[in-house]
Structure 1
């Protein structure tokens, strides 16, 4: 709930004995003995590696990279994709078990990707290097979605805006208020976090948002905040804040295009609902 504020192949060796030893009781024939000399039969000095057909079949989970190359990333489970990111487990930790424990701990992929470094490093089997990889993947995804917003009118790309905001704040454990400042052609100038609150409450300062819009020479604005509960139905405070923001921005000729309430899977748009 936003709160309006008045202040600012396995390598095992199968020792195949391709050449047999002399049978028991058969002595070598040498000089001075009856019969011609016999050649001593010796065992080959090197063991013969087992063929592919003799090697035990690898379990499917042991070959996520091969399955990815053969069938594409969509064929892999969440655990397999995380295992590829991690690369290998720390000594004493199986990488697939670590991947499963990550999903079990956070409850979802989105919550895992929204986690802070300290949350990763507190888990068994995850060190600083692997925590950095997981955070880097999330940031790359956010930047890729932000690039999709560049150089195109955001009013023509509502789906891209909502995807970006869901990844940006949809999984946060506390409320966050974000402003997308746009130019006269509705192209993104900057995305900024304006306020951060608790699980259920957050103070937003309309005067500061107006001041920032003027500083960036923004012609219009899209604002959004998340509901950590996942429910996107706006509260009475959300509606009051939206009304005050529209009226305050209009005084300086900055248009409020929309106010979005972001959940983990759903989004509420004030503009689509007639600003009610």
Structure 2
């Protein structure tokens, strides 16, 4: 490993990005370009390599908790905030197409957005995609957070949130921290209970999506609604 200062100027991460494009950079170089400047006698590239060695991948770096992240030399609270802000910017830009078109025309975008929002969570979280009459996204709201195995979900709270947002339809969403997205019997039962509650206020439950580590599973596509 060589420090940035020993590299030819054209091969340094920022210059390389400007000259050849971001796709040409290695993971360490991308992190170094984002970190930008060194600290404590270590250059940005050395710090980037230390992050990858500690957390194993770019995903591991961005999903690291504050305590673990700030234990890496040069990675204080300010840089932790920068990384978390960058991750949230990415998540929000994934939501933008869903607010301009029907979610059913943007199935891949829905999946990408939900995975970016939930797959890293160590506890089970249950939320709703609140939709307008054109099935465009109003907002995504997390309603319940539980343990690594389950979250207590109350249909009346879902009804309250739908009324607050003046939603015309919704998609139920929760993650499986195990990474396996297969629906359980409890998932199917809960879906039907919420559909019954929504029918009383004439709001459609269009789907229930389970987020795993590498894929999302649709109960509607599996005929389990």
TM-score using structure 1 length: 0.73
The structure whose RCO (Cα within 8 Å, separation 6+) is larger is 1
Alignment map for 1:1-276 (pairs within 5 Å): 58=7, 63-275=12-224
Report the counterpart of residue 3 of structure 2 in structure 1: none
Report if aligned partners of 1:117, 1:135 keep a CA contact under 8 Å in 2. no
User: In the superposition, relative to structure 1, how do residues 120 and 251 fare at CA in structure 2: closer, same or farther (>3 Å)?
Assistant: same
Query: Per-residue deviation at 1:61?
Result: 10
CA deviation map 1:5-51 (0-9, x unaligned): xxxxxxxxxxxxxxxxxxxxxxxxxxxxxxxxxxxxxxxxxxxxxxx
Q: What RMSD in Å do the two structures reach over aligned CA positions?
A: 2.2
Report if aligned partners of 1:175, 1:197 keep a CA contact under 8 Å in 2. yes
Query: Per-residue deviation at 1:62?
Result: 5.5
Query: Per-residue deviation at 1:100?
Result: 2.5
Distance 1:113 1:61 in 2: 27
Larger-Rg structure: 1
TM-score using structure 2 length: 0.89
SS at match of 1:171: coil
Report the counterpart of residue 5 of structure 1 in structure 2: none
User: In the superposition, relative to structure 1, how do residues 109 and 200 fare at CA in structure 2: closer, same or farther (>3 Å)?
Assistant: farther
Unpaired runs of at least 5, structure 1:
1-56
Report if aligned partners of 1:171, 1:263 keep a CA contact under 8 Å in 2. no
Q: Using the TM superposition, name which of 62-71 and 247-256 deviates more.
A: 62-71
Query: Per-residue deviation at 1:120?
Result: 2.3
Unpaired runs of at least 5, structure 2:
1-5
SS at match of 2:149: coil
Distance 1:66 1:148 in 2: 32
